[in-house]
Copies of this chain bind each other. A is one copy, B any other.
Amino acid sequence: MRYAEVYLHRQLVPHGGLAGHTAVVFDVLRASTTAAVALQAGAEMLVPFADLESMTAFRAGLSADLAGRCLLAGERGGLAAPGFDLGNSPGEFTAERVAGRIVLFSTTNGTDALERSEEADPVYFGALVNLSALAELMAGRTRRENEELALVCSGTELSASLEDMLAAGMLLERLGAREGGWEMDDGALAVLAVAAQWRGRETEAMRQAIGGRNVAALGLNQDIEAAAAVDSVPVVPRLVTDWGALAGTDVLVKAGG
């Protein structure tokens, strides 16, 4: 038997409750999508921050050498914030811009969701763009008896997010959760229902969802298209805290195959 529990919003994750689990955190619009794209484009690692202030303070504390390798990605009102190198749109994270760089980026909901999940091991950052790569990584683990899988939908400050639930449900489907041999909680049953209704209509789902409406209102329709491009990025970000000069900090690196 394999076990799957799905947290429909990060606030429902019990603090410290994910020890012993394999976790996948979803923040499809836009942090987990952008992280996968950036690592595929050759970024050495990404460091998530809850706000721009903590990001700039972090860089100010680095050695000149390390600080010089950092790019700052963050937005105010949907565009790259003054003094920042990049916004948060996946399309900005090209090899030309990010290859070999350490990308500091802001994502309020994603950072909080990753922190709440960090007792799990491994912790992956999942999206629609890397579902197949995720499923491949997980398949080995879920073949183990008694593997406990926790999927965390980041949501927004105020609400669950449809696109996170859709991605979680589609990942469960790819892991074979509809075919038996899994014990699932009610959150898992709910995201499977969301996947049954919206799979194949990912762009439409996001346009109806609050996150997508907000992104569209900023004129960033291409971000929705990028986030809805299922399996377009064969890279999975993994959370580690023991990365060389940044040991002790939550950073995202490319997961091994």
| Cα(A193)–Cα(B160), bound, Å | 14
| Cα(A161)–Cα(B159), bound, Å | 16
Flag whether A9 is at the interface (Cβ < 8 A).
Answer: yes
Contact A159 B194, beta carbon cutoff 8 Å: no
Flag whether A241 is at the interface (Cβ < 8 A).
Answer: no
Flag whether A198 is at the interface (Cβ < 8 A).
Answer: yes
Shortest Cβ gap from A195 to chain B (Å): 8
Give A1-19 as 1s and 0s: 1 = Cβ < 8 Å from B's Cβ atoms.
Answer: 0000100110110100000
| Cα(A192)–Cα(B5), bound, Å | 21
Interface size on A, residues (CB 8 A): 29
Flag whether A230 is at the interface (Cβ < 8 A).
Answer: no
Give A193-235 as 1s and 0s: 1 = Cβ < 8 Å from B's Cβ atoms.
Answer: 1101110000001001111000000000000000000000000
Contact A165 B190, beta carbon cutoff 8 Å: yes
Shortest Cβ gap from A228 to chain B (Å): 15
| Cα(A186)–Cα(B197), bound, Å | 13
Shortest Cβ gap from A7 to chain B (Å): 8
Which A positions have Cβ atoms within 8 angstroms of B? 5, 8-9, 11-12, 14, 155, 158-162, 165, 185-187, 189-190, 192-194, 196-198, 205, 208-211
